[in-house]
Chains A and B, each alone.
Chain A
């Protein structure tokens, strides 16, 4: 716990915030995007926006795996579990994400589908070992952080010759999403980025070099602790003041510039790049997601069950797409907190703990309410 307290020290936070207020130039604008939902969560949970001067604005990025999964991919999972009578293992958050016409895995479960909530992919593998007469599909989602464990388990299934287990792969990559945001961000201008924490422990800091080189924006990789976020903001303010655009690493206790080579090798062995992949909010992005290599086709649920590509449209009032691109604040969505709440989400950003809408609903909605 001592280790944790160091990153939650209130006095240190207030000093850091005071320094940011001192260093900020009053006539300058500091529009900073935190890529990850983990950062958004820490910002809202600790009320970090209250500590910042008015001209430092935090814009919430697309780094929430549940949020960026398009409803068609979700709908395909619902149809798979109901059609093929498999056991579908999923993280809890995914159960409430709307697919087509507001259907969810949770509703499918209530209709009798065998959908099970697991904490990790290895739990799904355990179920496959224990129930050889059933086929178990793991609904794999996530950025580069959760991809190596999926690779490990597919390799393990191959070693054990486990024929009743497969993975519905929805792993996506961070840099293409960041590139898309920086390239097409017309309505608002970004002055800097708070870079991913856990993702960077795997991929390192080098893959972000294009942010500085191509887009002339500073990026600071930061941990998910609230003090990490404040420190990263302080580092970005200094770079912006000095007219610099560099990739810096605040999260040195966990991130090396080359990342985790072993994890990268493992990913390359099991996965290959998809030519293109649909993201909720960002649309189709080339080279932005991973598929299971043909050598491991037996453990690829998409091939095994010939899962069709499904195009499903989101609820027409839902602004998740704009929220994920950072062009709309969660509370600017017309259905925020009315038709769309964490108990009855219309869009994915209201479901996940890492979703910007859910973070504002849980921690921050009193601000606008007080103002109105």
Chain B
């Protein structure tokens, strides 16, 4: 095997100083070498080793979910993570928001000519680490290269498949007046970590992205309260956008309490500086749960028992409202609307 490998790839891929060139997406020997020396070496599993164009796997009983997510974050590396682990966490979380157990991932790369292979290696290793830690293998993939100036280093699309446990039926449309609205932790860390990096702002207390896979927290929550009505991770557009989406899908309104919504001090300070509202800033490791009011305490306790839900809080309730308004009692005791985001607050945050 080794001899044959040497014969095909006479020169080693220079992962330290080399750069992506057009041949890495050309379908020839250079592409095969990039896949074998980089992607296969990092993601290593039986499906990839088979080197087929697709991956075959057994289907468990019950319902499957599938989710896909493209990642174009800029900068590619930010405090607390990078586009690699973000692309794994993002799709695992989308699958998990159906209450599902994520099983497999597929990943697709669009690389820009000239992109340093050292950076690509860092990203791929970060993906591999995140996938392994989450216990969800990347079993198939694709690589394309675009000319210099036609991309921005690397774009990654991941697709995930998961299985929904029996008795679980989670959907935004199930949010019902009277339900409790819970949040798993503090807001805005991912968005502000990326912004701080972009604006070159340095802080005494640096903000790290909260990017993480939430499926184990979800498994614990579903085990405690199988009748969770709705789960959503408030990514782009933040808590405000996620709640407005749910309100529209379910034809309900929401009432929140500002004082109950956790936001850490450095995030609040940076938001203030940049004129942003933390309710609209992206998260990559938080979730919103909506459940019957009588199960709220039990669910909150289960969340707080998990390391990713330590700061979980009951932040409001679902109400009947034909307008679908998300309203909030402010820290002053007045009321305000928490509206949909208008336009783009923070482009390319994930």
Q: Are A13 and B323 in contact (CB under 8 A)?
A: no
Q: Which residue of B lies closest to A14 (CB)?
A: B333
- Which one of B268, B275, B332 contacts A48 once the chains associate, using CB atoms below 8 Å? B332
Chain B residues within CB distance 8 Å of chain A: 259, 265, 268-269, 272, 275, 323, 325, 327, 329-337, 339, 342-343
Q: How many Å from the CB of B270 to the closest CB on chain A? A: 10
Known: A1-B265, A343-B343. A365 touches B334 (CB 8 A): no
Q: How many Å from the CB of A39 to the closest CB on chain B? A: 15
Q: Are B332 and A1 in contact (CB under 8 A)?
A: no
- Which one of A8, A14, A46, A370 contacts B336 once the chains associate, using CB atoms below 8 Å? A46
CA distance A370 to B320 in the complex (A): 12
Which residues of chain A have C-beta atoms less than 8 A from B334's C-beta? Answer: 46-51
In the complex, 26 of the A-B residue pairs with CB atoms within 8 angstroms, ordered by the A residue number, are: A1-B265, A1-B268, A10-B259, A13-B331, A13-B332, A13-B333, A14-B333, A45-B336, A46-B332, A46-B336, A47-B332, A47-B333, A47-B334, A47-B335, A49-B334, A50-B334, A51-B332, A343-B342, A353-B275, A362-B337, A363-B339, A366-B325, A366-B327, A367-B335, A369-B323, A370-B323
Binary CB contact string for chain A from 304 to 317 against chain B (1 if under 8 A, 0 otherwise): 00000000000000
6 extra interface residue pairs, beta carbon distance < 8 Å, beyond A4-B272, A13-B331: A8-B331, A46-B331, A46-B332, A47-B330, A50-B333, A366-B335
Which residues of chain A have C-beta atoms less than 8 A from B275's C-beta? Answer: 353
Which residues of chain A have C-beta atoms less than 8 A from B335's C-beta? Answer: 47, 50, 366-367
Chain A residues within CB distance 8 Å of chain B: 1, 4, 8, 10, 13-14, 17, 44-51, 96, 226, 341-343, 353, 361-367, 369-370
Q: Are A365 and B337 in contact (CB under 8 A)?
A: yes
Q: Which of B269, B329, B342 has the most CB of A within 10 A?
A: B342
Q: How many Å from the CB of A150 to the closest CB on chain B? A: 20
8 closest cross-chain pairs (CB), A and B = A47-B334, A342-B342, A50-B334, A10-B331, A13-B332, A363-B336, A366-B325, A47-B335
Q: How many Å from the CB of B237 to the closest CB on chain A? A: 14
CA distance A48 to B335 in the complex (A): 8
How many residue pairs, one in A and one in B, have C-beta atoms under 8 Å apart? 70
Q: Which residue of B lies closest to A52 (CB)?
A: B334
Interface SS, A side? helix
Q: How many Å from the CB of A204 to the closest CB on chain B? A: 26
Which residues of chain B have C-beta atoms less than 8 A from A46's C-beta? Answer: 330-332, 334, 336
Which residues of chain B have C-beta atoms less than 8 A from A96's C-beta? Answer: 343
Q: Are A4 and B330 in contact (CB under 8 A)?
A: no
Q: How many Å from the CB of A231 to the closest CB on chain B? A: 13
CA distance A363 to B259 in the complex (A): 17
Which residues of chain B have C-beta atoms less than 8 A from A49's C-beta? Answer: 334
CA distance A25 to B342 in the complex (A): 41
Q: Are B330 and A45 in contact (CB under 8 A)?
A: yes
Q: Are B268 and A4 in contact (CB under 8 A)?
A: yes
Known: A46-B330, A46-B331. A362 touches B339 (CB 8 A): yes
Q: Which residue of B lies closest to A358 (CB)?
A: B342
Q: How many Å from the CB of A145 to the closest CB on chain B? A: 15
Which residues of chain A have C-beta atoms less than 8 A from B330's C-beta? Answer: 10, 45-47
